[in-house]
Amino acid sequence: MIDSLAVLAVFFGLFFFLSGSIGLLRLPDVFSRLHALAKADNIGLAFVTLGIILLEPSLLNDIKLVIIWLLIMAASAVSSHLVARRALRGERDDD
């Protein structure tokens, strides 16, 4: 039961990654691409992490997984911000 839940969660997460990647390739400008990617990073990774936590019995490893997820969230937030800022300034420069 728990196994199948875990597999389901991982697949759900992968679905977000897939749509995020499609968004990255298909969307027209930097900002909407960033939006798509951030969704994939945050929610997709959350579900994948959840799935692995369900499979992994050791509490220590569970904590590590959550920390990894939190770190990636923080990094992706900051880097999205930097990319967006750069893109915004770049557009201004072109004007």
Which residues make up the interface to other proteins (CB under 8 A)? Answer: 74-75, 77-78, 81-82, 85
Residue 13 burial (CB < 10 Å; 0-12/13-18/19+)?
buried
Yes or no: say if 39 and 16 are a contact pair by the CB < 8 Å rule. Answer: yes
* Smallest distance, other proteins to C-beta of residue 78, A: 5
**C-beta of 85: minimal distance to other proteins in Å?**
6
Nearer to other proteins, 27 or 83 (CB): 83
In the complex, least distance from residue 84 CB atom to other proteins, rounded to whole angstroms: 10
- Report the distance separating Cα 77 and Cα 80, nearest Å: 5
